[in-house]
Amino acid sequence: MISFDEVCEIVSQEISKLDWNKTPNGLYAPIEYILSLGGKRLRPAMTLMACNLYTDNITQSIYSALGIEVFHNFTLLHDDIMDNADIRRGKPTVHIKWNNNTAILSGDVMQISSYQLMTETPAPYLKQSLDLFSRTAAEICEGQQFDVEFEKMNHVQADEYIEMIRLKTAVLIAAGLKIGAWIGGASDEDADLLYDFGINIGLAFQLKDDLLDVYGDEATFGKKIGGDILCNKKTFLLINAMNVAKDEDLALLNAWLENNNPTQSAEKIQAITSLFTKLKVDKICEEKMAYFYDKAVAKLDKLSVDTNKTQELRNLAQKLMSRKD
Amino acid sequence: MISFDEVCEIVSQEISKLDWNKTPNGLYAPIEYILSLGGKRLRPAMTLMACNLYTDNITQSIYSALGIEVFHNFTLLHDDIMDNADIRRGKPTVHIKWNNNTAILSGDVMQISSYQLMTETPAPYLKQSLDLFSRTAAEICEGQQFDVEFEKMNHVQADEYIEMIRLKTAVLIAAGLKIGAWIGGASDEDADLLYDFGINIGLAFQLKDDLLDVYGDEATFGKKIGGDILCNKKTFLLINAMNVAKDEDLALLNAWLENNNPTQSAEKIQAITSLFTKLKVDKICEEKMAYFYDKAVAKLDKLSVDTNKTQELRNLAQKLMSRKD
């Protein structure tokens, strides 16, 4: 089996080979820029790893894997406009470095590029891969729409939040795994199991992200801690805190949610973090994360391939749960 | 042969059958809205007509035709944000009726929908149709980028303008024709000829649009006459006027271009229209339009099908040149 690190190296090399030196440069330069900012390359790596469970010839799934990654980065580009985000991976976002119109139009052509790559899926799997890719792409937009709508709602239920992150984060990981498995020659049963593995590990991954945003170490996390707290983002932590907080804890939480004074940012982060810890919502989140992680790994156990073949995916799943960034 | 009117009726019926009653409604309602505003349905109609040159069974090209039309409407949605356009087909644009973020995200999912439709192209033609569709889609974005860049440039050459409208308008008409021809069973030679017909009729169509925007009748054109003049849009008329105007004509033209006083809008439209007529740039534009129209029709003459079969496309081309809206 090819290791996760080796697979990431292949993905990085292939991404750097994509040619964005096209006319008009103003349209294509932002694509090269956002792809150069890096990222974990988790989605394409998992696509290749799923393929590798069934064949040594993983190069046949490389374009599909790249299509998944380019689509993911396209969503970041448009989401950053909608979320008014200035910084992405420590660098100015595209709509800040250029402008909104450029971010819209370069994003559009980036989405087209993702389809161009996905259309290179080997012929026997082309139609089904494109159907799954499009359905997944639409679901990601639905997830983003729910995310935007949640920010204007007073109360969001925990299960509504889980459904939102399933759409916004988990389905693309799952679709990449399923497409990779198909290309490798997996049975439909195995492809479905890998899809379910992707959904559950994607949910656990996003909950870990919510935890890191509050409890992470700024130096290793790579972005400011407490960003979600400062914008009152209805994460799994905040939703649960609103549910379990009573009396003075609830009053204090609400007071801080209403306080958006920028000079008190540090105090707000500290106060809400302390409340989360006191209310044990960090534990609730960790338990939910462990629940999805266990469900994910159980799917791998059911695959028709030898257990040793799935070891790299198991290691990766483990690594994602204990990660610091 | 099925007539243009019959084909348009089929397209309208099929568009009305598309289901946008999906969750979240805030994401899908703008798509239903923009598609309900109508339009000429020229692109899907021509896709079906090209297919009909080679087979009576045109239903096999309907989803590809709809994919072309949904993509076209998606570009309008995002272009209207970039162009700050408030009105489209007499109704508020999506970013005005809703907001910018909705217009971005609904546009994104609309682009995905166009790919979902295009992926229903019959299997033997799927890969080549998707490749052409994606290349065309990217070219449309390139055309829009050039259009945006031209507005900030002091001088644009007539041939640069023609290349921009080729990308922004003509290639999608051409791609629809070619895909329809392929699905019908056309030879590659015929499919290429129909593509070239589409490019040339698309260029003539856009030049006619430029003329109607200045010389049209507001009642039949359906939008305000002089819109291009008021925003100093570098159309084929203005580019040629800048080239041929001398001395006091040039001074007068420049003075009006610098005058953006909204209380003098009517005078500006009247003055620049008079200058266009005096400088005979309307004639230059009509000649160029006739040049592309003749080139387009010459492509139809070379097709391997009986001349009587191409009569509906000839009638349509003629109608587009003499149209009032």
CB contact under 8 A, A131 and B116: yes
How much is the pLDDT for B223? 76
pLDDT, tens digit, 9 for 90 and up, residues B121-131: 999 999 999 99
B21 touches chain A (CB under 8 A): no
Of B105, B108, B127, the CB nearest to A119: B127
- CA geometry: angle B187, B193, B196, nearest 5 deg: 145
Pairing of strands A91-92, B87-88: unpaired
Report the pLDDT value the prediction gives residue B218, as an integer from 0 to 100.
Answer: 84
Asked if A105 and B82 come within 8 Å (Cβ–Cβ), the reply is: yes
Give me the amino acid identity at B103. A
Q: Which are the contacts of A308, defined by CB distance < 8 A and separation ≥ 6?
A: A1
Contact yes or no for A127 and B126 at CB 8 A? yes
The partner residue sitting opposite B82, judged by closest CB among A104, A109, A146, is A104
The answer to whether B225 and B218 have CB atoms below 8 angstroms apart is yes
Window 172-231 of B: residues touching A by CB (8 A cutoff) are none
Distances (CA, A) of A103 to A96, A109, A117, A325, B30: 9, 10, 21, 26, 21
* Percent helix / strand / coil, chain B, rounded to 5: 80, 0, 20
Span B255-268, mean pLDDT?
Answer: 96
pLDDT digits (tens, 9 = 90+) for B50-88: 999 999 999 999 999 999 999 999 999 999 999 999 999
| DSSP-assigned letter for residue B226 | T
Task: Please list every residue in chain A whose beta carbon sits closer than 8 Å to the beta carbon of residue B113.
Answer: 138
- Contacts of residue B312, defined as CB under 8 A and 6 or more positions apart, other chains included, come to B1, B2, B3, B4, B49, B52
Q: Is residue B203 part of a domain?
A: yes
Q: Which amino acid appears at position B309 of this protein?
A: K
User: What tens digit of pLDDT does each residue of A58-94 get?
Assistant: 999 999 999 999 999 999 999 999 999 999 988 999 9
Query: What per-residue confidence (pLDDT) applies to B259?
Result: 96
Task: Find the CATH number of the domain harbouring A259.
Answer: 1.10.600.10
Stretch 147-166 of chain B: residues touching chain A, C-beta under 8 Å: 148-149
**In this complex, is the C-beta atom of B90 within 8 Å of any C-beta atom belonging to chain A?**
no
Structural contact between residues B109 and B131, judged by C-beta atoms closer than 8 angstroms: no
β-sheet bridge partners, residue A91: A88
Q: How far apart, in whole angstroms, are the C-alpha atoms of residue B6 and residue B52? A: 12
Predicted pLDDT of residue A113: 98
Interface probe with B: pick from A25, A27, A83, most Cβ of B within 10 Å: A27
Let me know: does A281 contact A237? Beta carbons within 8 Å: yes
> What distances in angstroms separate CA A275 from CA A8, A229, A238, A252, B281, one per listed residue?
39, 12, 10, 9, 72
| Residue B178 falls inside a structural domain | yes
pLDDT of residue B67: 98
Q: Which of B81, B112, B135 lies at the smallest CB-CB distance from A141? A: B112
Q: Is the pLDDT of residue A263 over 90?
A: yes
Measured CA to CA, the distance from residue B224 to residue B213 in angstroms comes to 8
Under 8 Å between Cβ of B300 and B226: no
Distance in angstroms (rounded) separating the CA atoms of residues A110 and A94: 13
pTM (2 decimals)?
0.97
Which chain A residues are within 8 Å of B127, Cβ to Cβ?
119, 123, 126
The answer to whether A221 and A210 are in contact (CB under 8 A) is no
pLDDT at A272: 98
Please list every residue in chain A whose beta carbon sits closer than 8 Å to the beta carbon of residue B27.
Answer: 141-142, 145
What is the predicted pLDDT for the residue at B229?
Answer: 96
Identify whether the C-beta of residue B39 lies closer than 8 Å to the C-beta of residue B73: yes
ipTM, 2 dp: 0.97
Q: Which residues of A are less than 8 Å from B141 in CB distance?
A: 27, 105, 108-109, 112
Confidence of residue B167 (pLDDT cuts 50, 70, 90): very high
The residue-averaged pLDDT of A296-314 equals: 97
Q: Which of A145, A149, A150 to mutate to test the interface with B (most CBs of B within 10 A)?
A: A145
CB contact under 8 A, B138 and A109: yes
Please tell me if residue A286 touches chain B, with a CB cutoff of 8 Å: no
Of B191, B204, B137, B209, nearest in space to B168 by CA: B137
CB of B98 less than 8 A from some CB of A: no
Which is nearest to A43 in space by CA: A174, A166, A204, A183? A174
pLDDT tens-place string over residues A157-189: 999 999 999 999 999 999 999 999 999 999 999
Strands, E assignment, B131-173: none
Residue from the list A27, A111, A127 with its beta carbon closest to the beta carbon of B111:
A111
Q: Which residues of B touch A85 (CB under 8 A)?
A: none
Residues in A closer than 8 angstroms to B100, CB to CB, are 100
Interface check for B18 against chain A (CB to CB < 8 A): the answer is no
Identify the pLDDT of residue B224.
84
When pLDDT is cut at 50, 70 and 90, the band that residue B32 belongs to is: very high
pLDDT of A17: 97
3-state secondary structure of A2: coil
d(CA B35, CA B66): 11
Residue B219 banded pLDDT, cuts 50, 70, 90: confident
User: For A186, phi and psi rounded to 5 degrees?
Assistant: -65, 155
Torsion angle (degrees, nearest 10) of CA B44, B48, B50, B53: -160
Residues 6+ positions from B269 with CB-CB distance below 8 Å? B225, B226, B229, B230
Report chain B residues whose CB lies below 8 A from the CB of A82.
Answer: 101, 104-105
pLDDT above 80: residue A43: yes
Q: For all residues of chain A together, what is the average pLDDT?
A: 96
B88 DSSP β-pair partners: B91
- DSSP symbols for A36-61: HT----HHHHHHHHHHHTT-S-GGGG
Other beta carbons within 10 Å of B247: 7
Query: Strand, coil or helix: what is A92?
Result: strand
Query: How high is the pLDDT of residue A213?
Result: 95
pLDDT at B292: 98
Q: Which of A223-227, B89-93, B115-119 has the lowest mean pLDDT?
A: A223-227
Contact B142 A23 (CB under 8 A): yes
Tell me the mean pLDDT in the region B114-119.
98
In residues, how long is chain B?
325
Residue of chain A whose Cα is closest to the Cα of B102: A145
Is residue B276 assigned to a domain? yes
Domain range enclosing B268: 4-122+132-322
Taking only the tens place, the pLDDT of each residue in A12-39 is 999 999 999 999 999 999 999 999 998 9
Cα–Cα distances (Å) from A65 to A4, A27, A125, A167, B125, in that order, read 14, 23, 14, 19, 24
Give the per-residue pLDDT at A162: 98
Residues of A with CB below 8 A from B160's CB? Answer: none
Domains in chain B, number = 1
B66 domain residue, yes or no: yes
Asked if B181 contacts B190 with a C-beta cutoff of 8 angstroms, the reply is yes
Contacts of B146 in chain A (CB under 8 A): 24
Bridging pattern class, strands B91-92 and B87-88: antiparallel
